[in-house]
């Protein structure tokens, strides 16, 4: 609304709410004649006029000043309106939001089409492009004949022109991926924008010119750093694998350092010992090559959330038994070559365990450890995944070189042969035997996660960490606890492994443990593990062993809504302090409610004898009671909790508070999350829009009249408060 007066008299100050309706005075232009009670005055802003002079206009025969003050009111939703909006908004972190649309469409086609039709569509598409591959064979040879020798050798198995025509004909959005593969991957400079990934800008830290200028001095340090790891097995493996790369045409060398170009950059190659293998790492960060890279996107491979959302989408439309497996590309990065213009920055220093000296090799295939290598490979892998979804109706995801694939049991053989022909058509080698080639099964491992599909016909799928991952992580934690110290690098590595494993555990107990590890490694107080961090690591290890698998259910894809509120009016004889809550179905219909008045002893436990107000603690108590009393209903479900106290919402989100009482209440909340395996989201509801305000004050007539059953919560409150003691 706008006032013709510069400073009209208003009934409340800014950010205050009206206790009663306010009739808009004459002289104020307003879309409504009366501002309802509980509306909040957001601002009263003077309006400036052109040239700093007051402008005038003719109005009903008189000269009056133009609008000189703008008044903004926030009019809250009614309780029913807010619940309706909450239903429409849904849960911000629903798994259904994680599935890419092209994959969702593929899942829907698998549910709707007959198996015979799926088989026919796949066969016709593959036959068409196999014939096209034969027709393009001579053109393919001409294309590769114009490539540098090393790139022609690496890309020889690829049917590049077929791949390009498929992308063009099917309408793929990133046709530049073909040019990058044909020209080879760069190691420095700007990463091309693909529109396949999230927009995130990260500037380069140094220029390519600066890298070239410092190359000669820096490579001497890199060559001298090529020394023994102290583990003969690691040294032998790194050197022997480097020689294997030379034999395969993925590298060249050894190279005499005296023949290196003046601007040649040498990075250190070392081995990282993992559980069952030793991985070669090319440290292009240490040599500053990665510092020249500037990006506008963040490549995000499909995590287990995408796999979970794929299974959930399939659960919605399919009841037949479903199987799964992982297709693993062999030496994935080595199937792509470097651009000729990148070879000056592709040298690595490798320790020769026989001569006890460092040797220099030039990498020709994309190195594992280069920032641009990650972008380039994921860009290519994304196109392969997209073709499978769009053209062949494959239900699969892509995590780096792993393609996790689902299939209805009766159609699994056809899916397996389809993937095989697709990879062979485009010239990509994948594991066809050994540990990385398992048949379709009701239980399979991918990305360190075990996916259990046995209960798919019953409406749910289970995700858990593999026993191997759990055992390795617990062993690592125990080794640090025994040693009693943990460096920054060790802590960062442990935290990363904990974070990945925690993704398959319900609740946020693991996050609190990781926070303790994080606080320690960045405390600057040395490597000795403090008692708090040690206790947190022990809890995480126990949590890994005892946590139930993460379940994805067909019937609970939509979120429940929980509203809680509290009142604290110590001067009242009848209802000095109360909590109330309402549980709503995902449709917005009330399911259950509770209303409870705290006695003086309960209030004292929350601090009424020491503090002027305990409304924050009571609001948090109401939230905890709701999570516990309805845990059997919310099991395995997404749920949005609405509270009208910012502090209660904030500590519920962060999982920690500043007092013993608050932290113990939070512990109860987190334990309830784990026990019911819920997916919680915490949000604020304005007080006037909170439907649980009435039951928190003992006003239950309207809900009872609507037939909403009230659940007793006295025993739950007593159990919670008894654990707080008199702290």
Last residue of a domain, one of 383, 404, 425: 404
The pLDDT of residue 117: 96
Q: Which residue, of 492, 524, 552, is where some domain finishes?
A: 552
- Given a cut of 60, whether residue 37 has pLDDT beyond it is yes
Give the 3-state secondary structure of residue 77: coil
Q: Which residue has the tokens 């020769």?
A: 352
pLDDT of 605 over the 90 cut: yes
Structural domain includes residue 436: no
Q: Which domain holds residue 687?
A: 558-722
Quote the distance between the C-alpha of residue 669 and its chain's center.
Answer: 23
How far apart CA 586 and CA 584 sit, in angstroms, is 6
Q: What's the pLDDT at 75? A: 86
**580 DSSP β-pair partners:** 565, 595
For the segment 610-633, the average pLDDT, to the nearest whole number, is 94
Listed range (59-73, 116-130, 512-526, 584-598) with the worst mean pLDDT:
59-73
pLDDT at 175: 95
- Looking at residue 94, its pLDDT comes to 65
pLDDT of residue 346: 96
Question: Based on the domain organization, do 583 and 630 belong to the same domain?
Answer: yes
Q: Is the per-residue pLDDT at 709 higher than 90?
A: yes
Indicate if 13 and 123 belong to the same structural domain: no
Q: Quick one: average pLDDT of 310-322?
A: 90
Is residue 410 in a domain? no
Q: Do both 27 and 168 map to the same domain?
A: no
* CATH number of the domain residue 582 falls in: 3.30.420.10
SS3 33: coil
- Ordered DSSP codes for 455-470: TGGGTEEEEEE-HHHH
One DSSP character per residue, 118-176 reads: HHHHHHHHHHHHHHHHHHTHHHHHHHHHTS-HHHHHHHTT--HHHHHHHHHHHT-S-TH
* Minimum mean pLDDT range among 114-118, 555-559, 693-697: 555-559
Neighbours of 50 (CB within 10 A): 7
Same domain for 347 and 251: yes
Query: pLDDT for 48-87, tens place per residue?
Result: 554 444 443 433 333 344 557 888 888 888 999 999 999 9
| 356 and 488 together in one domain | no
Please check whether residue 483 lies inside any domain of the structure. Answer: yes
Residue in the structure block whose two tokens are 């023994």: 228
Arithmetic mean of pLDDT over the chain: 88
| Residue-level pLDDT at 58 | 38
Per-residue pLDDT at 219: 84
Compute the distance between CA of residue 292 and CA of residue 214 in angstroms, rounded to an integer.
Answer: 13
Mean pLDDT of 550-568: 83
Instruction: Give 549's contacts (C-beta < 8 A, 6+ positions apart).
Output: 452, 462, 463, 464, 504
- Residue 453: inside a domain, yes or no? no
Which of the listed ranges 7-21, 104-118, 270-284 does the model predict with the highest average pLDDT? 104-118
For residues 165 and 283, membership in a common domain is answered with yes
pLDDT at 508 over 70: no
Where do the DSSP E strands lie in 383-436? 395-399, 402-408
Print burial letters for 286-325: b (CB count within 10 Å at least 16), e (below 16): bbbbbbbbbbebebebbebbbbbbbbbbbbeebeeebbbb
Contact 311, 406 (CB under 8 A): yes
pLDDT tens for each residue of 376-424 = 999 999 999 999 999 999 999 998 899 999 999 999 999 999 999 999 9
CB within 8 Å of 578: residues ≥ 6 apart: 566, 567, 595, 596, 597, 598, 696, 697, 698
In the chain, what percentage of residues exceed pLDDT 70? 93
**Is residue 432 classed as helix, strand or coil in its secondary structure?**
coil
CB of 416 closer than 8 Å to CB of 374: no
pLDDT at 99 over 70: yes
What is the C-alpha to C-alpha distance for residues 52 and 78, in angstroms, rounded to an integer?
Answer: 42
Highest-scoring range by mean pLDDT, 3-17, 29-43, 581-595, 664-678: 581-595
Q: Is residue 421 part of a domain?
A: no
Residues 638 and 656 both lie in one domain:
yes
C-alpha 163/C-alpha 359 separation (Å) is 38
Distance CA 277, CA 164 (A): 36
User: Do 572 and 531 sit in the same domain of this protein?
Assistant: no
- The answer to which of 224-233, 236-245, 495-504 has the lowest mean pLDDT is 495-504
- pLDDT at residue 643, rounded to an integer: 95
The distance in angstroms from the start CA to the end CA of the chain is: 51
Q: Does 451 fall in a domain?
A: no
Tokens of residue 130, six digits = 């196999």
User: Taking Cα atoms as reference points, which of 8, 83, 75, 63 lies closest to residue 39?
Assistant: 75
Please indicate whether residue 137 or residue 462 has the higher confidence score (pLDDT). 137
Residue with tokens 């006029």: 49
Tell me, what's the pLDDT at 599? 94
Picking from 552, 567, 584, the residue at the C-terminal end of a domain is 552
Question: Comparing C-alpha atoms, which of 515, 481, 484 is closest to residue 498?
Answer: 515
Residue 2 has phi, psi (to 5 degrees) of -130, 140
The answer to whether residue 92 is domain-embedded is: no
Q: 547 and 614 share a domain? A: no
Whether the Cβ atoms of residue 203 and residue 322 lie closer than 8 Å to each other? no
What is the C-alpha separation between 467 and 704, in angstroms, rounded? 50
Question: Do 244 and 371 reside in the same domain of the chain?
Answer: yes
Identify the three-state secondary structure at position 585: coil
Lowest mean pLDDT among 188-192, 225-229, 379-383: 225-229
pLDDT at 434 over 90: no
Share of the chain above pLDDT 90, in %: 57
CA distances to 158, 170, 175 from 164, in Å? 11, 10, 7
pTM here? 0.75
Quick check: 95 pLDDT over 70? no
DSSP H/E element including 708 = none
Whether residue 708 is predicted with pLDDT greater than 90 in this model: the reply is yes
pLDDT at 288 over 90: yes
Q: How far apart are CA 598 and CA 577, in angstroms?
A: 6
Q: Helix %, strand %, coil % for the chain, to 5? A: 45, 20, 35
509: left (phi over 0), alpha (psi -120 to 50) or beta: alpha
User: Is the pLDDT reported for residue 365 higher than 70?
Assistant: yes
pLDDT value, residue 55:
40
- The distance from CA 725 to its chain's CA centroid, rounded to whole angstroms, is 38
Q: Are residues 572 and 548 in the same domain?
A: no
> Which pLDDT value is given to residue 684?
92
Number of folded domains in the chain?
4
Assess if residue 413 is contained within a domain.
Answer: no
294 band by pLDDT with thresholds 50, 70 and 90: very high
Statement to judge: residues 169 and 318 lie in one domain = yes
The DSSP element (H or E) to which 400 belongs, if any, is none
């Amino acid at each position: 609304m706008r006032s013709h007066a510069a400073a009209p008299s208003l009934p409340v100050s800014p950010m205050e709410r009206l206790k009663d309706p306010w009739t808009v005075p004459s002289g104020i232009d307003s879309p409504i004649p009366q501002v309802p009670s509980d509306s909040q005055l957001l601002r009263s802003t003077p309006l400036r006029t052109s040239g700093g002079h007051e402008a005038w206009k003719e109005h009903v025969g008189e000269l009056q000043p133009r609008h000189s003050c703008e008044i903004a009111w926030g009019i809250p939703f009614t309780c029913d309106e807010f619940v309706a909006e909450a239903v429409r908004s849904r849960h911000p972190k629903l798994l259904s939001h994680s599935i890419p649309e092209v994959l969702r469409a593929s899942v829907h086609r698998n549910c709707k089409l007959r198996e015979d039709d799926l088989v026919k569509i796949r066969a016709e598409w593959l036959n068409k492009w196999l014939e096209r591959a034969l027709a393009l064979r001579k053109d393919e040879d001409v294309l590769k004949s114009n490539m540098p020798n090393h790139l022609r050798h690496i890309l020889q198995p690829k049917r590049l022109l077929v791949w390009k025509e498929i992308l063009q004909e099917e309408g793929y959005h990133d046709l530049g991926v073909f040019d990058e593969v044909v020209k080879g991957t760069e190691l420095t400079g700007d990463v091309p924008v693909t529109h396949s990934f999230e927009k995130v800008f990260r500037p380069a830290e140094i220029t390519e010119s600066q890298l070239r200028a410092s190359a000669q001095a820096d490579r001497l340090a890199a060559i001298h750093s090529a020394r023994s790891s102290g583990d003969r097995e690691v040294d032998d493996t790194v050197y022997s694998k480097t020689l294997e790369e030379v034999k395969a045409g993925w590298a060249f060398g050894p190279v005499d350092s005296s023949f290196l170009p003046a601007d040649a950059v040498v990075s250190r190659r070392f081995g990282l010992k993992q559980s069952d293998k030793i991985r070669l790492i090319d440290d292009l960060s240490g040599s500053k090559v990665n510092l020249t890279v500037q990006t506008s996107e963040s490549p995000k491979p499909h995590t287990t959330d995408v796999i979970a959302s794929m299974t959930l989408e399939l659960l919605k439309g399919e009841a037949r038994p479903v199987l799964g497996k992982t297709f693993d590309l062999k030496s994935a990065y080595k199937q792509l070559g470097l651009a000729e213009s990148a070879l000056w920055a592709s040298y690595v220093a490798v320790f020769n365990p026989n001569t006890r000296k460092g040797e220099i090799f030039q990498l020709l295939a994309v190195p594992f450890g280069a920032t641009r290598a990650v972008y380039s490979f994921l860009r290519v892998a994304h196109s392969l995944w997209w073709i499978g979804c769009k053209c062949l109706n494959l239900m699969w995801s892509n995590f780096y070189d792993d393609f996790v694939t689902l299939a209805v049991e009766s159609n699994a053989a056809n899916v397996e042969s389809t993937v095989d022909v697709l990879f062979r058509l485009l010239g990509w080698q994948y594991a066809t035997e050994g540990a990385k080639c398992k048949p379709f099964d009701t239980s399979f491992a991918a990305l360190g996660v075990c996916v259990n599909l046995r209960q798919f016909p019953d409406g749910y799928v289970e995700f858990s960490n593999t026993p191997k991952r759990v055992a390795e992580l617990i062993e690592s934690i125990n080794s640090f606890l025994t040693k009693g110290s943990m460096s920054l690098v060790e802590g960062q590595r442990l935290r990363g492994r904990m974070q990945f494993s925690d993704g398959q555990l319900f609740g946020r107990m693991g996050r609190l443990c990781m926070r303790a590890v994080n606080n320690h490694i960045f405390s600057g107080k040395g490597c000795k593990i403090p008692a708090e961090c040690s206790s947190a690591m022990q809890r995480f290890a126990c949590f890994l062993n005892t946590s139930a698998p993460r379940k994805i259910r067909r019937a609970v894809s939509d979120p429940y809504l929980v509203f809680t509120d509290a009142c604290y009016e110590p001067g009242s004889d009848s209802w000095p302090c109360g909590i109330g809550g309402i549980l709503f179905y995902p449709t917005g219909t009330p399911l259950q409610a509770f209303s409870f008045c705290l006695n003086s002893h309960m209030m004292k436990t929350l601090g009424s004898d020491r503090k002027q107000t305990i409304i924050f603690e009571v609001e948090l108590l109401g939230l905890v009671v709701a999570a516990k009393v309805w845990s059997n209903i919310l099991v395995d479900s997404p749920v949005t909790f609405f509270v009208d106290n910012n502090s209660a919402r904030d500590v519920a989100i962060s999982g920690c508070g500043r007092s013993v009482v608050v932290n113990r209440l939070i512990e109860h909340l987190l334990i309830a999350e784990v026990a019911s395996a819920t997916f919680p989201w915490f949000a604020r509801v304005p007080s006037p829009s909170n439907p649980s305000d009435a039951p928190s004050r003992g006003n239950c007539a309207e809900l009872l009249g609507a037939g909403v059953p009230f659940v007793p919560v006295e025993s739950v409150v007593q159990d919670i408060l008894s654990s707080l003691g008199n702290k």
